[in-house]
Amino acid sequence: MEGEQRKMSLRLGLGNMSTVQEILVLALMLVSIFALFFSDIDFTYKIGITALVFAVIFLTSLASQLLQEGNENSRP
């Protein structure tokens, strides 16, 4: 394992998440789609909702990848 290098991908990485995390991310996507397309709110709020949902999903996937790598590195 000495010469092996690991690369972190910035894709969503749903395969690295637990089932609960996957369900929460998919529910967040559905709620945001409903808020964006089927609600009558101001365009500025729609942009804010989109940015917030993107940030939460990105940080969730990043945290999941970091936790997985931390668990792999801590194993003897």
Q: Alpha carbon of 14 to those of 29, 40, 59, 67, 73: distances in Å? A: 13, 31, 12, 14, 21
Q: Indicate the pLDDT class of residue 10, thresholds 50, 70 and 90.
A: very low
Tally of domains in the chain: 1
Tell whether 1 is covered by a domain. no
Tell whether 7 is covered by a domain. no
Tell whether 36 is covered by a domain. yes
Residue 53 lies in domain = 14-74
pLDDT in tens, 37-61: 888 889 899 899 889 988 988 888 8
| Residue pointed to by tokens 């945290």 | 63
